[in-house]
Amino acid sequence: MLLSELHYTRYQHTRNAVDFDAAIQIWEGVVLLDRGEYKEGHVASLVNLATVIGKGVRSSGAPTEVDGLDSKLQRAIECSKEAIRRISASNLATEQPEFKLRAHRILADALLFRNSKTGPFNPREIDQCIDSLLEIKAHDPDAFEKDPEALSNLADAIRLRLRCENDLPPREGVTFEDAVGLYKQALAVYEASKADPTIIAGIYGDLASMRISV
């Protein structure tokens, strides 16, 4: 919705919580209007609501100062999961796979953000995050290999999982070596595209912390 986009754009510039909340409320209203068991519009509204919340929280300079942070993150997670459930139970999964991929991406982002930035830490949510990222990768492996954010997010999720590996069963492709390899891939793509140096420095820091922890 254009009005929601306007509020969100202004929030990006002013960091005024009123605009962030207004953008969310508009999509909440659309979700209510678009209700239907497998209606395409309802799925799109759920994904758009989750996207607005997730982007707003992650782009905040001080996430812990976002009003109602925990409830906002939880709402984004719930909307993403509901969208995935509805898509999986309908023909949208094959007809318009982008809906499911967007839902998996925002779900992974929200779970990773909560477990790495704000807490509480939940090992099972990390596995859910990894599941969503691997779902995206399985859909288009080539595109995933060229997406540095997806690569580094998967590496981050694996790194977090390794901290609590005694509480979870082993997973193939989810090892120290896999995380290091993903960080290196992300760095190569970022450096080739001359990305923001702070992003590159952050990944170098994550990679260094992996090696120190050995």
CB 183 within 8 A of CB 142: no
How far is 63 from 20, CA to CA, in rounded Å?
13
Residue-wise pLDDT tens digits, 131-183: 999 999 999 999 999 999 999 999 999 999 998 877 788 888 899 999 999 99
How far is 203 from 214, CA to CA, in rounded Å?
17
Q: Tell me the pLDDT band of 49, cut-offs 50, 70 and 90.
A: confident
pLDDT score, position 16:
57
Tell me the residue type at 183. Answer: Y
Q: pTM for the whole thing?
A: 0.81
- The half-sphere exposure of 201 on its side-chain side, counting CA atoms within 13 A, is 3
CB 31 within 8 A of CB 45: yes
Tell me the residue type at 39. Answer: K
